[in-house]
Amino acid sequence: MAQRSALERRQALHIALYAAPATLLMLGVFVAPMGIVIGQSLTSEHAATFSFNAFTRIASDPLFLRIGVTTLEITLLATGFALLLAYPLAFYLAQQPPRRRALLMVLVLVPFWTSVLVKSFAFTVILGHSGFVNTALAWLGLPTIKLLFNRVGVVIGMSHYLVPFMVFPILSNLVAQPRELALASAILGAGQWRIFCRVTLPLSLPGVMAGVLLVMILSLGFYVVPALLGGRQDMMLANLVDFYAREAIDWPMASALSVLLMAAAAIAAVCLSFIPGGSALLGGEER
Amino acid sequence: MMPKSEVRAPAATPTRTSRRAVLTALGATALAAPFVTISGRARGADKVVAVNFGGAMGEAKRKAIYDPFTRDTGIEVVAVPGPDLAKIRAQVQSGDVEWDVVDLLDGWVPAGIRMGLLERIDDKIVDRTGCIPGARSDYAVGGSIYAGGIAYPTDRMAKTPKNWPDFWNVAAFAGRRGLRNRINDTLEIALMGDGVAAKDVYPCDVERAFKALDRIKPAVNHWIAQTAQTVSLIQSNETDFTYTYTTRVKDMQAANVQIGYSFEQNIMGVGWAGVVKGTPRKEAAMRLCSYIAKPELQVHLTDLAGDAPVYPNMLAKVDPAVRKWLPDVGDPNNLFVNAAWWDTRVEELTRRFQEWLLT
């Protein structure tokens, strides 16, 4: 129909009225501050004039590129590792009866409730030079391995925090898959492994993509965990954002670095949407 | 918009009105909310907001400074954690100042003055006679003096360095080193490690410092992110010699951890307090500053927390058990952080240091 009837117009108006408070809130609390940050990245440090100065300084110092590359490396590693840990976990949880699943979810959420400094000490006890793992290795006569204060430590520490974010989207997808699909496949002669590869896994890809995007965006902004558990090569861009915002008080630079991180996250979303299952990320139809 | 049917009208009208009434009510609430909070802020002239770094020092300040202040003036002190120069700037720029007296790091004082974030200290209210010159600023009050130096384990190493040239002498003093992952303090340490006397450290020869850092780099296995780690990493045998503060080692020894501290070639700094520009409670804030500057109260604070008072003639009054943890302000081999030197250089040197760390 080319024209909407009076009824449809009225319904559209009511929907708009209902959505108005939330939209205003989002505009004020989310869109406006983002706009201010983007605007701030385009001002000069000393006066309120338009200037590309911040971006020029970032482009002219190779330090930022190097740290940007490190940030991407660590983000991809942490996301991959979190996915490896979270998928089997979500799969196991999906098979549980609802009540036991809820109890086990509490265990999955426990990492959220510990402070990052306490976690760093705890990881030192387990993974450190004189920790459980290395003491056991030494007792078995094997050489000790450096599991902490390097890239390995950073990935382990970040995954510890990110696994719950990866588990939730995958779990909700797996739980929503009708049980009849697996039963039908079994009736048609498929073994467990085949059911998983040909039915469950492909159907769970939208959940996986959602989890991957969420975890990647979170990882891009990490800096405390890498600072505590990493080595000197594990510097993240967010570390510099914090330095410029709070120590150097150079807000255009901090804003410019933040804009670059936002752009990286947006590019990640677009790239993921090309992978099968990812089109839902940009609002497309699922597969 | 309403259907013409008279039969349907009475049923439709109450639903439409009640939905609209709900939305109107929500809108009215949203408009009213700012007025509710504004009137709340206008009250509270009988309180002052003090921002400090919390922890044991924060509790000590409550006992030694804030409580006597409230007892004498009747003004309540609301302690808030998390001093942050960026937050001060945001408050002053927006004209909405909530903090009154804020604890400041050395580097924040020249930066705060430059950006117009601090009120001039009213010398008619705040009496600072007798304080050391390094702890007197026109725009901030010196509340205490802290010191940093070498920490080492006392149970597992035969030879431990007690000064910075020894720290740099990896051949004679074998062991893993830990330095901070920031250029502040590390630059001064590198110069002293290279043999520069404390009085010649400023203005810093940056090239010489970075060459010295190049020499020590292979022996440093930790570039430490947080202060708490500077002692905990020694305790857990992750590293051997670090740069830390007297109070950290004092607390560790109180918990029977085998860790020692050297008072040679210490780097000292002042724990400042400033009044945020434009605060509505300026007079109360100045009065609190006068209490922060009171010699007897600083001695009590020292007894509780372990950092030195800014009045050298009051050292005799400090509890002897705590006095052995205080740095010797008159020792020519100790140096005070020169915040003015750092103010214009911190950004460029930090970038250079981060780049150096990555290679």
Q: Do A149 and B222 touch (CB under 8 A)?
A: yes
Q: Do A125 and B236 touch (CB under 8 A)?
A: yes
Instruction: Determine the distance in angstroms separating the CA of A145 from the nearest CA of chain B, rounded to an integer.
Output: 13
Contact list, B1 vs chain A (CB under 8 Å) = 6, 10
Tens digits of residue pLDDT in A143-156: 888 998 899 999 99
Query: CB–CB of B164/B329 below 8 Å?
Result: no
Question: In the numeric block, which tokens belong to residue B203?
Answer: 């203005």
pLDDT, mean of residues B322-326: 93
What is the per-residue pLDDT for B258?
95
pLDDT band, very low/low/confident/very high, at B28 (cuts 50, 70, 90): low
Question: In the numeric block, which tokens belong to residue B170?
Answer: 């990896």
Q: Does B24 touch chain A (CB under 8 A)?
A: no
Q: Give the CA distances from residue B205 to residues A121, B30, B223, in Å, rounded to whole numbers and listed in that order.
A: 37, 59, 22
Q: Does B346 touch chain A (CB under 8 A)?
A: yes
What is the per-residue pLDDT for B247?
92
Contact list, A121 vs chain B (CB under 8 Å) = 232, 236
Tens digits of residue pLDDT in A13-59: 998 889 899 999 999 999 999 999 999 999 887 777 888 889 999 99
Contact list, A120 vs chain B (CB under 8 Å) = 229
pLDDT at A178 over 50: yes
State phi, psi for A18 to the nearest 5 degrees. Answer: -65, -40
Computed over its alpha carbons, how large is the radius of gyration of chain A?
A: 24
pLDDT, mean of residues B267-295: 95
**Smallest CA–CA distance from B222 into chain A, residue:** A231
Tens digits of residue pLDDT in A235-258: 999 999 999 999 888 999 999 999
pLDDT at B35 over 90: no
Instruction: Determine the distance in angstroms separating the CA of A117 from the nearest CA of chain B, rounded to an integer.
Output: 9
Q: Do B85 and A247 touch (CB under 8 A)?
A: yes
Tens digits of residue pLDDT in B53-96: 988 899 999 999 999 999 999 999 999 999 999 999 999 999 99
Contact list, B84 vs chain A (CB under 8 Å) = 246
Contact list, B107 vs chain A (CB under 8 Å) = 247
Contact list, B27 vs chain A (CB under 8 Å) = 21
- So what's the ipTM on this one? 0.79
CA angle A12, A18, A24 (to 5 degrees): 110
State phi, psi for B262 to the nearest 5 degrees. Answer: -110, 130
Q: Do B238 and A124 touch (CB under 8 A)?
A: yes
For A61, the closest of B1, B111, B351 (CB atoms) is B351
For B236, the closest of A18, A117, A130 (CB atoms) is A130
Query: CB–CB of B287/B141 below 8 Å?
Result: no
Q: CB B98: neighbour CB atoms within 10 A? A: 14
Q: First CA to last CA across chain A, in angstroms?
A: 28
Q: Do B226 and A227 touch (CB under 8 A)?
A: yes
Crossing angle of the two packed helices A132-139 and A116-127, in degrees rounded to 10: 0
CB pairs under 8 A between A and B: 84
Question: In the numeric block, which tokens belong to residue B176?
Answer: 């893993």
pLDDT band, very low/low/confident/very high, at B114 (cuts 50, 70, 90): very high
Nearest to B315 by CA among B295, B333, B331, B335: B295
pLDDT at B52 over 90: yes
What is the per-residue pLDDT for A110?
85
